[in-house]
Structure 1
Amino acid sequence: MRIAVYGASGYQAGLVLAELIRRGAEPVLVGRDDARLRQAATRAGMAGAERRVAATDDHRGLVAALRDCAAVLNCAGPFTLSGHAVIRAAIAAGCQYVDTAGEQFYLRTVFDTFAAPAGRAGVTVVPAANDACVPVDLLARLLAEAVRPVEEMVVSHFIAGGGAPSRGSLRSLAATIDVIRTGGLTYEGGDWRTGVPPRRTSVTLPGASEPTEVTRFPLAEVVTIPRHVPVRRVESLAEAGLTAGLSAPLPPEVVDALPEGPDEEERRGQRFSYLVDAVGADGRQLRGIVRGSDTYGSTAVIAVEAARRLVADGARPGVLAPAQAFDPRDFLACLAPHGIGWRIGGADG
């Protein structure tokens, strides 16, 4: 299975390449700089891997680089700046598309811009195949099946440890800082709106004796969940301390001087908890929770699995949320060997 990795010299892409090799796939490294691609291939232990040079402002060259690949896995953020170019090339090349984006407004534009072109071309586009959006979106589908009809869903993210974000993540944060500071989108009454006050200011994690302060944060799941769950309201929250830390971007020269990303020991020490609180029209409440470690490593596993399934099993053409492209229980089950677990219980977790 030949899968192109765009932005192959980046930090997240290095983990994706390692996962592709582990699964016996044939990666094709694509990016703007051949020297950096060569270094990335050597680091991944695949010095002889095929490399193709193409920039996002060279549509014809990018299409040619993807032409004979079954899928492309785009790891080149900030996606807000260049993601559309890779999607256009994938559609033109007839290549299934997956990316690791977490940028909320970018994700909405992908659905708005490419649903029809991808459908006509017979290409499936699944953006935001990362550690959070995929398992949370799948879990939301299972919650919706248990709580019908759904009135409200609230998604909350909690991450502890793991060292500093990668340089790529910091650049993506800087490119979307205005959205982060305003809290992003809330889905309400059939449309996505900005400036909607959150209904919760704290969330109590399962097993915790005290609530944690939270604030609005622009998560991708607010865009994906309403695509397949009939729901009146979806909002997204994150721990207030995390939000505050991400609301002050570092200058580019400081980012450039930082390590490429957290080392393996730091990643192993990280823990994440993603909650989905669902309220039915009858007042019934259920909570789903996803827990795991190593957001970057988990993203690599999830993105590669998403690309593999699109190639091996197929999905209807167009731009799809994870739960529209994949069977929720089956995909979540395949994550268990990688330390990602989930459960659904009462509102108290």
Structure 2
Amino acid sequence: MKIAVYGASGYQGKLVLAELAHRNIDILLVGRNATRLRGAATTVGIADAGQRVADTDDHGALVAAFRECDAVINCAGPFTSSGHAVVRAAIAAGSHYVDTAGEQLYHKTVFDTFGGDAERAGVTVVPAANDACVPGDLIARLLAERVQPIEEITVSHFIVGGGSSRGSLRSVVETIDVIKAGGLSYDDGDWRTGTPARHASVTLPGASQPTEVMKFPIAEVVTIPRHTQVRHVESLVGAALGARLGTPLTPQIIDSLPEGPTEEDRRTQRFTYLIDAVGRDGRSARGVVHGHDTYGITAVIAVEAARRLVADGAKAGVLAPAQAYDPTSFLNFLATHGVSWTITVSDLPTAQQ
């Protein structure tokens, strides 16, 4: 098995390289700059790994590089401006594709643009193979098996500590208008912008008081309706996190910052992701994901997502995580890497609780 990492010299890319090396998977580093690729390979301790220089505006070079590989993991953001070129080249090369993107509208355009091409090429494309979308999407599928039919699913992200990489901040800058507008909601069969949030607060597990939230563009709004019949899906973050991500940034400010969080920052970071479902009969169910180190867990998830496509196969096309992987199997794998998950179901209508 050989996996290419595009954007291999970036902060997230190097974490993915380290995870691949840990699993003894053959690696090809691909990126725009030969010097940076060599530096990344040396830093990770894989100086002998193959390296190819290919920019996103050179389709031929990308295809030639990816043709050597069974799968591609794309870590090069902002994905909104460059991701499509990498998806297109991976499909042309006959390689499966996953990425670590967190840009909601980019995810939707991948589904809208590349489904037919991927099916004809016999490859599988899974965008948003990251710390949040994969467990959130998989748990939503499990909730749907317990509460049917579903009226509403609300996905809420809460992250404490950790900091952001320069690449993540550049993605924020490129999509700031979408962030400020709250992104997409799913309503009665279609994705829409400008839909007001139905929830102003969410009560975290074990908390006595609700936490204020704000609407925010999260990938699960794009993926969940592709495998689960639901009337409404919206995504939220803690208001404090949303306000912080909305702080004005310039390229100069970003370039002056560290490449990404320190190992200590990552070790002490904590995240909680909630997936709340309400059935049309008023019953409710909640999935809870706890963990730490969003960047490290993203590396684990992206590598495992690509590995499973190569080793186990999946239907060709652009798929949500729950369409590509067995939910319980993947979630149990994540539990061995410090990600805990639970599902609780109420048999009483919400109004009676």
Q: Supply the AA of the counterpart residue of 2:324.
A: A
Q: How far did 1:345 drift?
A: 1.1
Q: Which residue of 2 aligns with 1:102?
A: 102
Q: How far did 1:346 drift?
A: 4.2
Q: Which residue of 1 aligns with 2:321?
A: 322
How is 1:170-319 mapped onto 2 (pairs within 5 angstroms)?
170-319=169-318
Q: How far did 1:199 drift?
A: 1.0
Q: Secondary structure at the match of 2:57?
A: coil
What are structure 1's unaligned runs of at least 5 residues?
Answer: none
Q: How far did 1:249 drift?
A: 3.4
What is the CA–CA distance in structure 1 between the aligned matches of 2:263 and 2:299, rounded to whole Å?
Answer: 14
What is the CA–CA distance in structure 2 between the aligned matches of 1:43 and 1:147, rounded to whole Å?
Answer: 48
- Contact 2:135–2:289 (8 Å) recurs in 1: yes
What is the CA–CA distance in structure 1 between the aligned matches of 2:91 and 2:298, rounded to whole Å?
Answer: 23
What is the CA–CA distance in structure 2 between the aligned matches of 1:223 and 1:28, rounded to whole Å?
Answer: 30
What is the CA–CA distance in structure 1 between the aligned matches of 2:52 and 2:345, rounded to whole Å?
Answer: 51
- Contact 1:41–1:49 (8 Å) recurs in 2: yes
Q: Which residue of 1 aligns with 2:89?
A: 89
What is the CA–CA distance in structure 2 between the aligned matches of 1:239 and 1:7, rounded to whole Å?
Answer: 30
What is the CA–CA distance in structure 2 between the aligned matches of 1:222 and 1:249, rounded to whole Å?
Answer: 26
Q: Which residue of 2 aligns with 1:64?
A: 64
Q: How far did 1:151 drift?
A: 0.8
- Contact 1:118–1:125 (8 Å) recurs in 2: yes
What is the CA–CA distance in structure 1 between the aligned matches of 2:124 and 2:344, rounded to whole Å?
Answer: 33
What is the CA–CA distance in structure 1 between the aligned matches of 2:46 and 2:121, rounded to whole Å?
Answer: 33
What is the CA–CA distance in structure 2 between the aligned matches of 1:173 and 1:341, rounded to whole Å?
Answer: 28
Q: Supply the AA of the counterpart residue of 1:11.
A: Y
- Contact 1:185–1:193 (8 Å) recurs in 2: yes
- Contact 1:177–1:249 (8 Å) recurs in 2: no
Q: Which residue of 2 aligns with 1:113?
A: 113
What are structure 2's unaligned runs of at least 5 residues?
Answer: none
- Contact 1:170–1:249 (8 Å) recurs in 2: no
Number of matched pairs: 347
Deviations 1:276-310 (A, max 9, x none): 11001111011111110000000000000000000
Deviations 1:56-115 (A, max 9, x none): 000011100111100000000000000000011001100000000010000000000000
- Contact 2:107–2:128 (8 Å) recurs in 1: yes
What is the CA–CA distance in structure 2 between the aligned matches of 1:249 and 1:97, rounded to whole Å?
Answer: 33
Worse-superposed segment, 248-257 or 128-137: 248-257
- Contact 1:38–1:47 (8 Å) recurs in 2: yes
Q: Secondary structure at the match of 1:338?
A: coil
What is the CA–CA distance in structure 2 between the aligned matches of 1:274 and 1:81, rounded to whole Å?
Answer: 28
Q: Which residue of 2 aligns with 1:123?
A: 123
Q: Secondary structure at the match of 1:286?
A: strand
Q: Supply the AA of the counterpart residue of 1:290.
A: V
- Contact 1:173–1:249 (8 Å) recurs in 2: no
Percent identical among aligned pairs is: 69
- Contact 1:274–1:289 (8 Å) recurs in 2: yes
Deviations 1:238-296 (A, max 9, x none): 00011111112311011001100001111010000000110011110111111100000
Q: How far did 1:145 drift?
A: 0.3
What is the CA–CA distance in structure 1 between the aligned matches of 2:84 and 2:64, rounded to whole Å?
Answer: 16
Q: Which residue of 1 aligns with 2:6?
A: 6
- Contact 1:214–1:237 (8 Å) recurs in 2: yes
Q: Which runs of 4+ in 1 moved over 6 A?
A: none
What is the CA–CA distance in structure 1 between the aligned matches of 2:60 and 2:45, rounded to whole Å?
Answer: 30
- Residue 339 (structure 1) aligned with residue 338 (structure 2): yes
- Contact 2:146–2:345 (8 Å) recurs in 1: no
Q: Secondary structure at the match of 2:302?
A: helix
What is the CA–CA distance in structure 1 between the aligned matches of 2:264 and 2:322, rounded to whole Å?
Answer: 32
Q: Supply the AA of the counterpart residue of 1:280.
A: G
Deviations 1:135-186 (A, max 9, x none): 0000000000000111110000000011x20000000000100000000000
What is the CA–CA distance in structure 2 between the aligned matches of 1:209 and 1:15, rounded to whole Å?
Answer: 37
Q: How far did 1:47 drift?
A: 1.0
- Contact 1:12–1:300 (8 Å) recurs in 2: yes
What is the CA–CA distance in structure 2 between the aligned matches of 1:100 and 1:64, rounded to whole Å?
Answer: 22
Q: Which residue of 1 aligns with 2:136?
A: 136
- Contact 2:272–2:288 (8 Å) recurs in 1: yes
What is the CA–CA distance in structure 1 between the aligned matches of 2:193 and 2:68, rounded to whole Å?
Answer: 41
TM-score by structure 1 length?
Answer: 0.98
- Contact 2:187–2:233 (8 Å) recurs in 1: yes
